[in-house]
Amino acid sequence: QGNGAPSSLDRRLVVVSNRIPLSWVQEGGHLTTKPSSGGLISALEPLLKAHGGLWVGSAGSEDSAEIREQLESAAKQHAYRYTPVFVTADEQVNYYEGFSNEVIWPLFHDLQSRCVFEPRYWDFYQRVNRKFAEAALAETEQRDVIWVHDYQLLQVAHFFREQRPEACVAFFLHIPFPAPDIFEKLPWRRQILEGLLDYDLIGVQTARDERNLIACLRGFLPHYKIMGRGRRHSVLGPQGETRIEAMPISIDYRDFARGASADTVVERMASIQKQYPGLHIAIGIDRLDYTKGIPERLRAFRALLRDHEEYRRKITLMQVVVPSRENIPRYQELRSQIEQLVSSINGDFSEPGWTPIEYMHHSVPREELLAMYRSADIALITPLKDGMNLVAKEYCTAHVENSGVLILSEFAGAAPELGAGAILVNPYDEVGVACALRQAIEMEPRERHQRMLRLRRQIRNADILGWRDHFFAALENLPERKAAQA
Ligand code: F6P
């Protein structure tokens, strides 16, 4: 638990995010729900289960009695309810695929050349953010704490406040916030910043994100007054006061470690390891996304096999790629690029009885995931930029015997917390990543153990409960929102 901070909230918690943690499947002519996954969901679900409340998020494109019934029955299994938002096909194309994932997503990950600054996207983004705000307004009361999540919903507070100016509305950004010389390319930069300042509290992942956000506010909204330093700032403007704090997200450490110790996981781990006798197993698990640095990682792996023959037949890379945002052309191109690389590396280096890369393009159920984490003595997590990267924390937590080496990109949000135990790499440096792989393979068991012990202690001491407590503590100290005398 986090530093004596409050672990409960005496007000109802209302989470608003692009998705609710359920997706829809057609089975035998019927629509049913299945749990969906992702960093945001795995962080927030335990919190709402423990606390109760409401989760507002998109639930397909059309309202129907059948959908509402399914949501009611899914909600019976825990203490919180769902409020669905219906996003039409047109809105999905322009708000979700367009503005969220072809403008904000690449820009905030420093990949400006991938942005498509289409004016229509911005109109839809506002329209859908208003829709989410209205759905939340209809179901909530003045006393509730509204907690909006992530880059798809930056403008929700703006529309929410039109009707409820004094409500408590907080925000958490799961992805990085870019530096001013990148952010300034956004044609709607002023509106986005002003919209953010309609929140009472903004949580970001790291001190660097906070520095960047503050620098953008200073640069592009110079008439706002900014106070504070380090990891805590207050911004005062015509809309009132906004607190900004870095609060790195995490995982449910105890639940994860318990899951990884289950007999079924241990058995499955043994059977996976049996298939790779005498080999080191490196694991990579990512959503299929160009920010994850998958082609760069594959090239580094190729460099290792090409330049150091002695490592052939010594290591296998198990690369899982979870399908994501499949309607967006960049993601389709990336899939072919990855598959061509895997096939060319396997073609160049495979020998009877040894395949350098085991490639999987599908999601993996939790138990299998835990067994894969535990089977792998190296994790290769090399995003070009990442808000946090919970896979890094999951991998370490699953290594309950303190074995395993974490190779981590210095551009992942997790790097400041995990840097002392991990081998940090620049994902753009092919030779450097290959070198880190050699270091991991050759590492003495004692050093492995000490590093992993340190990593797991860090994650245990700053887990999802600490994140929740940090948020609750920040809420307790918020000033009441009223327009400042600017
Ligand atoms: O944090 C990044 C994020 O967009 C989350 O909001 C989401 O849970 C995850 O990545 C998966 O993305 P999507 O909802 O677009 O599939």
40 CA closest ligand 1 atom index: 8
Ligand 1 center from residue 115 Cα (angstroms): 17
Mean pLDDT of 265-275: 97
Q: Where residue 84 falls among pLDDT bands split at 50, 70, 90?
A: very high
* pLDDT of res. 6: 63
For residue 40, report the distance from its CA to the centre of ligand 1, in Å.
Answer: 7
Q: What is the pLDDT of residue 486?
A: 39
Provide the pLDDT for residue 2. Answer: 42
> Looking at residue 479, what is its pLDDT?
87
174 CA closest ligand 1 atom index: 1
Ligand 1 pocket residue status of 387, Cβ below 6 Å: yes
pLDDT tier, 266 (very low <50, low <70, confident <90, very high otherwise): very high
Q: What is the pLDDT of residue 60?
A: 84
Question: Alpha-carbon distance 292 to 294, whole Å?
Answer: 6
Of residues 198, 200, 386, 463, which has the active-site annotation?
A: 386
| 233 part of the active site | no
Q: Give residue 27's pLDDT band: very low, low, confident or very high (50, 70, 90).
A: confident
Higher pLDDT, 30 or 85: 85
Instruction: Indicate which atom in ligand 1 lies nearest the CA of residue 387.
Output: 1
Instruction: Provide the pLDDT for residue 482.
Output: 65
Given a contact cutoff of 8 angstroms between Cβ atoms, the answer to whether 380 and 297 are in contact is: yes
Check whether 483 has a pLDDT greater than 60: no
Identify the pLDDT of residue 66: 86
Nearest Cα residue to atom 1 of ligand 1 = 174
CA distances, 29 to each of 25, 26, 32, 96 (Å): 10, 6, 10, 28
Residue 322 predicted with pLDDT over 70: yes
Average pLDDT score over residue span 70-77: 88
Find the mean pLDDT for residues 461-477: 92
Give the pLDDT of residue 290: 98
Q: Is the pLDDT of residue 484 over 70?
A: no
Q: What percent of the chain has pLDDT over 90?
A: 83
Using 50, 70 and 90 to split pLDDT, how confident is the model at 273?
very high
Tell me which H or E stretch contains 126.
helix 119-139
pLDDT of residue 480: 82
Q: Is the pLDDT of residue 289 over 70?
A: yes
Give the per-residue pLDDT at 41: 87
Q: What mean pLDDT is predicted for residues 105-112?
A: 98
- HEC assignment per residue over the chain: CCCCCCCCCCCCEEEEEEECCEEEEEECCEEEEEECCCHHHHHHHHHHHHHCEEEEEECCCCCCHHHHHHHHHHHCCCCEEEEEECCCHHHHHHHHHHHHHHHHHHHHCCCHHHCCCCHHHHHHHHHHHHHHHHHHHHHCCCCCEEEEECHHHCCHHHHHHHHCCCCEEEEECCCCCCCHHHHCCCCCHHHHHHHHCCCCEEEECCHHHHHHHHHHHHHHCCCCEEEEECCEEEEEECCEEEEEEECCCCCCHHHHHHHHCCHHHHHHHHHHHHCCCCCEEEEEEEECCHHHCHHHHHHHHHHHHHHCHHHCCCEEEEEEEECCCCCCHHHHHHHHHHHHHHHHHHHHHCECCECCEEEECCCCCHHHHHHHHHHCCEEEECCCCECCCHHHHHHHHHCCCCCCEEEEECCECCHHHHCCCCEEECCCCHHHHHHHHHHHHHCCHHHHHHHHHHHHHHHHHCCHHHHHHHHHHHHHCCCCCCCCCC
**What local confidence, expressed as pLDDT, does residue 38 receive?**
76
The residue-averaged pLDDT of 287-295 equals 97
Confidence of residue 7 (pLDDT cuts 50, 70, 90): low
**pLDDT (average), residues 414-443:** 98
Q: Does ligand 1 have an atom closer than 6 angstroms to the CB of 292?
A: no
Q: Check residue 142 and give its pLDDT.
A: 92
Amino acid identity of 214?
I
**Which is nearest to 33 in space by CA: 59, 65, 53?**
59
The whole-number average pLDDT for the span 44-72 is 89
Mean pLDDT to the nearest integer, 415-426: 98
Whether 150 is catalytic: no
pLDDT of 396 above 90? yes
Q: Are 235 and 277 in contact (CB under 8 A)?
A: no
Question: Lowest-pLDDT range, 173-182, 352-361, 442-451, 471-480?
Answer: 471-480
Note whether 410 and 176 are within 8 A (CB).
Answer: no
326, two tokens: 């499949």
Looking from the CA of residue 149, the nearest atom of ligand 1 is 6
Of 109, 158, 174, 399, the active-site residue reads 174
Q: Which residues contact 353 (CB under 8 A, 6 or more apart)?
A: none
- Ligand 1 site, residue 325, Cβ cutoff 6 A: yes
What's the pLDDT at 51? 85
Averaged pLDDT, 170-178? 98
Name the DSSP class of 386: B
What ipTM, to 2 d.p.? 0.95
Which mutation among 15, 17, 19 tests ligand 1's pocket best, with the greatest number of atoms within 8 A of CB?
19
pLDDT class of 1 with cuts at 50, 70, 90 = very low
Q: What number is the average pLDDT over the span 422-430?
A: 98
**Would the CB of 174 count as within 6 Å of ligand 1?**
yes
> pLDDT tens, 201-236?
999 999 999 999 999 999 999 999 999 988 889 999
Q: Using the Cα atoms of residue 471, residue 477, residue 481 and residue 486 in order, give the sign of their dihedral.
A: negative
Q: Report which protein residue has its CA nearest ligand 1's atom 11.
A: 38
